Structures are given as C-alpha cells and as structure tokens.
C-alpha cells in the first residue's frame, strides 16, 4: 500500500515535469521575448504575494465550516494567525 502511494507520487511529479517540458519546447520561440518573461514574473509575484503559495505549502483549509450571520461560509479569517485558502486564492486572482 505504501509502495503504491510512493510510486503514484513520483509518477505525478514525472507527469507534471513532462507537461512542463513539453510546454517549454512548444513555446521556445516565445521565450526569447522580454514580454514573456515579464508576464511570467508578474504571475509568480502576484501569486506569492497574494497568499496562494502560502496556502499550498501550509495546507490550510479552503474555508471553515461555520458561517456568518447571513448563513454564508466564511472566506476570511478575522485574526492575525493565518488565512483560509479561499482568501489567498481570491487575493491572488484580484491582485
């Protein structure tokens, strides 16, 4: 059981790396343009500053199971201890 999980983990990593290399190979002419690198830098910068990378690394929940007075699920954590994943992804998308 554990061996199967380890093999699946490495197969997923190999698949993601293979897709990444295939995309780079198909887009190799566009990589010489400075606009491409600037857009890539902006996407990475905004996703890191917005909190999406923090959410992925720390494995925080998307939102908690409690809701506000209107019955809507809470997407913001009103404390200084952290954030929900929904809050980080929204900040990254809107940033």
Burial of 45 (0-12, 13-18, 19+ CB in 10 A): exposed
What span, in angstroms and rounded, lies between the C-alpha atoms of 49 and 43? 10
Residue 80 is predicted with a pLDDT of 58
Cα(18)–Cα(43) distance, integer angstroms = 21
DSSP state of 23: H
pLDDT in tens, the chain (95 residues): 577 777 887 888 888 888 888 888 888 888 788 888 898 888 888 777 777 677 677 777 766 666 777 877 765 666 656 676 667 677 666 76
**Which of 58, 61, 50, 53 shows the shortest CA–CA distance to 85?**
61
Cα dihedral: 30, 31, 33, 39 (round 10)? 100
Q: Is the pTM of this model over 0.85?
A: no
């Amino acid at each position: 059981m554990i061996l199967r999980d380890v093999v699946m983990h490495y197969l997923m990593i190999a698949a993601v790396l293979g897709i990444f290399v295939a995309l780079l190979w198909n887009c190799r002419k566009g990589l010489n343009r400075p606009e491409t690198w600037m857009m890539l830098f902006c996407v990475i910068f905004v996703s890191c500053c917005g909190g999406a990378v923090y959410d992925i690394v720390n494995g925080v929940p998307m939102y908690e199971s409690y809701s506000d007075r209107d019955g809507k699920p809470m997407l913001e954590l009103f404390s200084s201890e952290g954030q929900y994943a929904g809050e980080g992804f929204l900040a990254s998308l809107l940033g």
